[in-house]
Structure 1
């Protein structure tokens, strides 16, 4: 019997304050060098900043931002008869959510400034309003998939 656990056995945990799985997913993506308490502090400070700026529930803003950034399509490279094609494929919802969180954090890290919680809060607010670099990344991905729509019939062939 194999000792390795499968991904299906893992259950996402809740964060201690909001009791939300999505918050825990974001914290785990912020995490660098194993400093989880710092990641929690960054996210909670940014959610507090969102609450001050917008007077809305910060979890709703976070959920809206991730929903707006989540892509539906992406392109994958496929080698078919010696040529490499960019084939558009649909993304499963969980994979799309992971990509959205990754893009949000990446674009917030690229923002100017020193404090990560400021940068993250402004990026989340921009994404909730459908602005910002993460939204631009999603639109760019969808444009790539749309322009390569002619190769969509290669999706399931020659794997």
Structure 2
């Protein structure tokens, strides 16, 4: 069984951009009904010339079950267009290596424009790691920042003061 241990953070500034090693535009949508009580989300994602079907447990926190399988890109395109529940999330994923870890920074587009979030995958929940200066508040436990939530409640509709 695959276990993802991931922490999510907002960003303080754009200084991370100077350290980007690669970037990839991603499109992803959810095939499952996003109703309360669901045990897992099922999403389809296209990034570059590759496509994946991903199943992730629907629980808060840094550790979740996750399974990912490659699928034909044509199938993924059809699913995104015809089978997804809610909006399709568009984002650019930037990779930044810092202190021995890979940080993935998602720069959201469309209805989630303006949201920048950094994620780092760990080997254990108690793993210590150095945070870059550009990392801000942790949002790992905040469900609003989960992609499955951003489909229903996009960042641009949060009503900032």
Q: Same fold (TM over 0.5)?
A: no
**1 or 2, which has the higher helix percentage?**
1
- Please, what TM-score do these two structures have when normalized by structure 2? 0.24
* Higher relative contact order (CA closer than 8 Å, sequence separation 6+): 2
| TM-score, normalisation: structure 1 | 0.24
More strand by proportion, 1 or 2? 2
